[in-house]
Amino acid sequence: MSKTKALIVWGGWEGHHPKECSEIFGTCLESEGFDVEIRDTLDAYLDVAKLKELSLIVPMWTMGKISPEQSAGLREAVKSGVGLAGFHGAMGDSFREDTEYQFMVGGQWVIHPDNITDYKVNICKKEDPIVAGLSDFAMHSEQYYMHVDPSNEVLATTVLQTESAPWINGTVMPVAWKRAYGDARVFYSSLGHTPEDFKVTEAFEMIKRGMLWAAR
């Protein structure tokens, strides 16, 4: 398996700026020595043999629908050992009817109670290389409430404080995690609502490191 090939697949809801985010992280990965292919069709997941030559897949597709064949191709490649890494709705709210995809990711978006709000991200596993040296930091963005897999290895959290759903106040919600799926490494961060989020150094650095970790 190549150590330097990555695939970014973008599309779906345009409110998350998938094309622009694909370019941001395509450039980032190229600077780290990857040969990056960027596609705007889910048919990219049908050529399983080609997918298995990759080190990393970065899904960039909010909502939408994926065919059983496309989903199966993606999951087969990842289960075989191809890394998977992504963020926000582009990976955590991609295909709401595909529970097997959600099982692979380790979570699914449910709501962002107050829409754009101020909140703090707390690094909770400071010795992990994905977050080592990063301090807790502030965000002005969507604060995701998610259904999450208890087998995730959580790296960062946030404490929910909302006006619109006060019954969840005080809930400690995972923001970033890593997990296994078959032989693969999977990384996810709920940050990244718009490209503006990546101007927060810690938010960008955590996602970049997560992608490199998933790609081994």
Q: What is the CATH number of the domain that holds 110?
A: 3.40.50.880
Q: What is the pLDDT along the chain (216 residues), one digit of tens a residue?
A: 445 999 999 999 999 999 999 999 999 999 999 999 999 999 999 999 999 999 999 999 999 999 999 999 999 999 999 999 999 999 999 999 999 999 999 999 999 999 999 999 999 999 999 999 999 999 999 999 999 999 999 999 999 999 999 999 999 999 999 999 999 999 999 999 999 999 999 999 999 999 999 999
Amino acid at 170: G
Distance from first CA to last CA of the chain, Å, rounded?
Answer: 12
In the chain, how many domains are there?
1
* Amino acid 3: pLDDT: 58
Q: How far is CA 109 from the centre of its chain?
A: 11
The whole domain housing 174 covers: 5-214
Place of tokens 């997941």: 45
Name the token pair of 83.
């890394």
User: What pLDDT sits at residue 1?
Assistant: 42
Question: ∠ CA 173-77-202 to the nearest 5 degrees?
Answer: 35
62 phi and psi, to 5 degrees?
-90, 135
User: Mapping DSSP to helix (H, G, I), strand (E, B) and coil, where does residue 48 land?
Assistant: helix
pLDDT for 205 equals: 98
pLDDT at position 71, please? 98
